[in-house]
Amino acid sequence: MSILKEIKALVNEIPLGVRDDWEQYFMSKAYIASLRSTCGSRRVGAVIVNSLEKDKRNILSTGYNGYPSGQPHCVDGGCPRFEAKKQGLIKSGEYLDEYPCDAFHAEANAMFQMQRRGISTENSVLFSTTFPCRQCAEKINGAGIKTVYYAEGYPDEVAKSYLERYGINVIHVQE
């Protein structure tokens, strides 16, 4: 299966002149990034843009959840947590310390890419296919990101209240 072929076919089905607004456009890019994920539990993609103001809408970075470069991928047996889930030993959210996941989350991966290239995250805008977890919420705040757009929910009320407490705008992108 060729992802490129599938995307091309989808694009050819959409009539000319049909365009998403900027929020949906960048969220679509985040979903494209999620296709690189090797996580056995959830595909997540993220895109960081400098602004949504006219003439300043530039993608600064993309990220997806997966193991650090050079490490075995989750789906190839690199994740003790995914293996334990497959065997029915744990459920999502259980035994986080006993069965850790060492993968980078998409949001963190996108921020790390910017850091490696010396690009500031200050006042940027993050698009994530899934609502950020608590650890990513802390990184988002520390990075100076001011707005987070998400498409799919995630059951982490602590992360939501954390982002709100620090004045980070959280916006759900509707389909």
Task: Output the known binding site for Zn(2+).
Answer: 105, 133, 136
Q: Which residue pairs, CB below 8 angstroms and at least 24 apart, start in 110-114?
A: 110/46, 110/47, 110/48, 110/61, 110/62, 110/63, 111/48, 111/61, 111/63, 111/139, 111/140, 111/143, 111/145, 112/63, 113/61, 113/62, 113/63, 114/48, 114/60, 114/61
Tokens of 43: 């595909």
Q: Choose, from 107, 122, 138, 164, the residue flagged as catalytic.
A: 107
Could you tell me whether strands 169-172 and 147-152 are parallel, antiparallel, or unpaired per DSSP bridges?
parallel
Residue type, 16: L
122 is catalytic: no
Characterize the bridge pairing of strands 45-49 and 169-172: unpaired
Instruction: Give the residue among 174, 63, 71 at the shortest CA–CA distance from 119.
Output: 63
For residue 106, report the phi and psi dihedrals to the nearest 5 degrees: -55, -45
Q: What residues form the annotated binding site?
A: 105, 133, 136
Catalytic positions = 107
